[in-house]
Every structure is written in structure tokens, then in C-alpha cells.
Chains A and B, each alone.
Chain A
């Protein structure tokens, strides 16, 4: 008899919209065993090819089935540094689960039947965390005399720092904000990634000897050259993609129109949802519109809904997206969660102009309907405006979540650092070394907006190249 996928426990929608606690509760041991038992343990496991860092999925699931969670943990850690984080934020339905043999061919994302690899990964990651499983440190005496500067404490920076520190290299991470974690802290809301999960990984790096220097903006406080002069042998740039895109339409600077980064940073990093205990304010409205179809759009919609609930307002948050649900780049689970919580969706809608009141606050959004035309360069069907389809939506708060571009401060301060037409840093694809010798880069500053696991893959590559170079120097 076919075994049904094991559903993961979640906080009930009507309760969770009133708080910022984690929504997905994760598998119990019993549930993990049941789900692991569904794995076919394929002779040729195609799921692995779906993972950007090629975690040996078959083998770690095999260890779960043997109740050998420790081996499962170390199997994942061979490739991924942060299983507890990736198990929570990886878009598995586009990656390993889509590649899983149980996914029907030709679907845009994984079938429901595909093994819930991400939930199993999270189970194993949390097991490792709860049982304080530390990966073996292989300090190399030849390397301990070197120090490396990592710029940015987001996923790429954290991963690179960990890889280097495990070899005994002294690592200083420079972070411009007052808290570490980069987008994992300011961008992803705690109901998706609780701070204790993130803090655990950061504390682990501190135990490895990694030194975190917050409130320090490289490019302004010090240049790349000055860092080298201070004795760093190599520099890794994990600067991230943090520059928000706007729509470029009329009225976009009206009050209460936020970039997704501003809205999420106020609420996540600055805890504005606890105003006035925390002193950073954020506004909320009765008719909230979110423009965009990615994860940040889903995150800001769900944040807005929670703010409405906390303020005692009727829940009224609508996502408007210019294509249809199938083309939305967001994780399917986030779309599902958003819908369960009461987020409304308007598809095939293109914003045209914001209308404000005398005080400069947004009141309405004029939109146009569109239909799908031919596929564009992304392979998704292009939205085509329908003439004369103009209509108005009430809107007293809007979040623009239509993409993020490379952070520019360090790039602008470093003209010798070569970048492409998207202002992303150009690197050697094997070593991740940039146009400046001994300066490496990874994560969104190289690939544009990507996933945590992709950033980690690049950071590991860079760390390997740095270790190779320093090993040769050290002999």
C-alpha cells in the first residue's frame, strides 16, 4: 500500500497570525522515521542532483531509518554547515524534492508525494543542535598563522568563516549592522527562522574562535587595501543583495509605501512589532497591498497581517502579482501558509500609479489587468497589459517586493573590483576569486538574489580555494 507523506505539525492559522512564533513545528522522531521509511533508497538517487551542494540525501535518510541520527547529522554536515537553517528556508520543492523520483515528470515544482527531505534535514539539524554535535576541528598548524577577513555576516560569510576557522585560520567577520546574521536576521521573519536557531549557529562559530566585529562598514571605515595592510592574508566578500528595487511609477514616494527591506528590517531586526517597548516604529494600514510574488513578498504579507492582528484591525492584506500563481517564485509552503492565514491574492495585476491624500499618505493604487503572453528570458510567460483594464484598489499601506540588487558601498569604494552589468562581483567559477588577488566573493553579491544553500555552496568553494592558497604559502 502506498504510504502517505507525513504532514508536519504547524501552529493553527488563527492563533499564529497574532504572534511571531515559529509556524512549522517540525517532525517528531516518530514522524521522521515514518517519513524516512517512505524513501525508496533509489539505486541511482536523482534527488542529490537537485541539491545545490549535493548533500548525500539517500545516505542521511538511510541513517535516520537506522535511528542513527548522529551519522545522519554528520552526513549532511559534510556538505552543508547549517542544516537547521536550510531545513527551514530551502525552497526544497524547486530543488531536491523536485528531483525526487516520486515527483511526477514535467511539473514546475515537486509533487506532494515527493519525500519531505527538508523536514527530515531540519529534524536531523535540530537533533545535532540539541545534542551539541560538534563537527571535528582539523586545525592545521601551518594555517594557524594566517588571518582572513570576512565582510558580511549573512549566510555566505558565516559559512566561509566556519570552514576557515575549522582549519585553525583566524577569522574576523565585519558586519555593518549592530546584529549578526545578515538577511537571516533582518529579512527572514522569526516565524520562519527563529532567532535561537540562528544564534546557535553564530555561537558555534564564536566557539570555533571566529571574531565578530559589528557596527563596522568596510568600504567606509576601512578599505580592502587597509585590511590587507592590517595583515589579513585573504578577504572574503559576502556582501549580499540588499538594494531594494522599486516599481518606478508615479506616487511611489508617498508615505506608507515601503520597500520590502525597510518593512522587514523595521519589524525583524528592530522588533517594531513590539513598539513602544522597542523604539523603532512601523506603520500598518486597513488595506495593505504587497506587490511581488517572491519569498520576501510572502514574508512581508504575513508580517503585515500579524501587525493588523496585533493592532486589532480586521485582517486585510492582499498580494498583487503580475503573473499567475504558478509563476510565483516564492516557496510553495509560504504561499500555502499565507493563504491559510487569510492573505488574499490578485493575479495578473500590474500597478500603474499611487494616489495620495493632502498629508502625502497613500490612499489608492491604480492597476491594470494583464494576461500571459510568450515566455521571456526567465522562461516564464510574460505578462501583457490588457488595454482599458484600469481599476483602483484601496491602499493605505503598500510594500514593494519586486527584487533586490547587489549592495554597492564596498563595490563603489573599490574600483578595481570588477563587476558585471547587474553590479554583481565577477569571480572565477572554480575558486570564487575576484579580479583582485586574494579577494574572494560568494552569495548574492555574485549570483544575484539566490538561496541560503546556494550562498553556502559558493562560500565553501571560496573557503577551499583560500585554504589551498594559504596551505601552499604556509609550507
Chain B
């Protein structure tokens, strides 16, 4: 659980994205793309889930990338190499189903781009033709472009302000691609509004769509139900049934509301503890 390396991936306009490389031989040896860990930054900390971005089996090191957005991720960003996490457990959740689908589009937005990376690499290795669409507010906020380029056959960058790549949403490009050609899988990770739009677009073209959900969790072993989501009319636990689900079945409005259930406390603790 010791942090062996810390890299600031990006730090512009008040948005800081950090990578921590953490020693955990047990997790590294078992982790598969799409799985996540639960961690606590300190003894009094909250348990939060983070997707595993990389697992170096030989060195016994796992990598996590997160945006320092809330109280816990900011606390996590204050840790330095040599510090230890108070708690780290994993790998959790089902891995993403890696097989040869054929033509695959990956859609990543914000810090979700980091979570796309291990899936992109595995799908590429399984012989899929990978088209990646990355979305970012502007050029400076875009992360891991080179890494994803390496794992993709084609890559498209979309920025909200047009400062890099093309101006527009990831879904504009998705629509364009789907209108011209048939794809066998769409895989998307990012902010809920983005994944919701991705699912809406891909549904029009009847393209199989998997999304990796970021519901709130406590134990993440199926014991609390905090992360319950409605998928195709059934209640599922993101932690043990997911985190990947059929994007066309997810009740996005419900998920969006449930993820805001502690927004007042979040503001309170950030204010109180001077963050």
C-alpha cells in the first residue's frame, strides 16, 4: 500500500489530475482491465472506488489516475512517495469482457480517458480494430493522448472550445462514425452526462454499448447496496454485478441523482477543512 511514485498528469485552470503508483503485489498479479480498487487515504477517511489504470505484475505495482475533485481525492493528492494508503483492497468488480468483437469505438471523457486505457490495450491485443474518441473541455485538459494513440488504430480528439482536434462533443464524432459504418462494440467511460449521450446515440444505430459506472460505494463487496443502479428494469449492484453494464439499459437519471446524495456534505467538509 506504499506509494512508490506520484506524477501530476495535468494541472491547469484548477483541474489537477494525478497518478499514484502503489505497491501491491497481490492486486497487481490479479488485476484485469475494467476492475477497480477501494481505498482509504487515511484512517478517518472515506472508502472510495478507483479504476485500475495499470497493473505491473512483474514489479507488483498498480497505477491509479484521478482528478482532485472532492475532499477524498484532494487528500489523496496530498500523499507523497513513501506514504502509505490506510486501506487498499482489490481487484474488485468483473473485468471488462475482452474478446475479438471486430470494430470497436472507445469513447473517453475527462478523467475517464485514463480508465479507457487498459481496456483499449487489451481489446487491441485481442485483435480488435480500435477507433478512439477522446473528449476534453480544451487542449490543456486533455490527458494520455499519446498512450491512447498507441493503443488505437484511429484516434479523434474533440474539444468543447475547438482549441485542439475538432470542436464539439464526443457524441458528434460518434454519430458521424456510426452513420458511415457498422461497429461491433462501443465502450465508454466518462462523466455521466457524456455516457448518457453516448448510449442515446449508439442506441439509434443499435450498436452494442458497454459503460463503466462510477456509482458511490461503501464496502464494494456486495454488502451495502449503496451502488445500486437500475439496468433494464432490474436492480444491480455496480460493485459486484458491474462496473460494466449495457449502456442502453442504464437508468441514467436515477444514477445521476443518486451520485449527488452527499453533495451538501461534500461542500461542508471541503469548506471546513479548508480545501
Residues of A within 8 A of B (CB): 176-178, 186, 214-217, 220-222, 242-244, 246, 252-253, 255-256, 258-259, 261-262, 265-266, 270-271, 275-281, 283, 359-361, 407-409
Contact = CB atoms under 8 A, between A and B. Distances in A.
Interface of B: 1, 26-27, 30, 40, 42, 44-47, 71-72, 75, 86-92, 218-219, 221-226, 228-230, 235, 240, 251, 253-254, 257-258, 260-262, 265-266, 268-269, 272-273
Given A262-B224, A266-B218, A215 B262 contact: no
Among B222, B229, B230, which residue has the most Cβ atoms of chain A within 10 A? B222
A215 B269 contact: no
A258 B224 CA distance: 8
Contact of B47 (A217, A222, A256, A280): A280
Contact of A246 (B44, B235, B254, B269): B235
Given A177-B219, A279-B72, A217 B261 contact: no
26 contacts: A177-B219, A178-B86, A186-B223, A217-B89, A220-B30, A220-B90, A221-B27, A222-B26, A246-B235, A253-B228, A253-B230, A255-B257, A255-B258, A255-B260, A256-B261, A261-B219, A261-B223, A261-B225, A266-B218, A275-B269, A276-B272, A280-B218, A283-B262, A360-B253, A407-B221, A409-B221
B88 A215 contact: yes
Given A220-B91, A220-B92, A255-B258, A276 B268 contact: yes
Contact of B90 (A221, A281, A361): A221
A253 B219 CA distance: 18
A275 B91 CA distance: 28
Given A280-B47, A281-B265, A246 B225 contact: yes
Contacts of B266: 281
Given A221-B27, A265-B224, A360 B87 contact: no
Nearest to B237: A243
A242 B223 contact: yes
Nearest to A280: B46
A261 to B, nearest CB: 5
B86 to A, nearest CB: 7
The 8 A-B pairs of least Cβ separation, nearest first, read: A360-B257, A262-B224, A281-B265, A178-B87, A242-B223, A259-B225, A276-B269, A215-B89
Contacts of B254: 253, 360
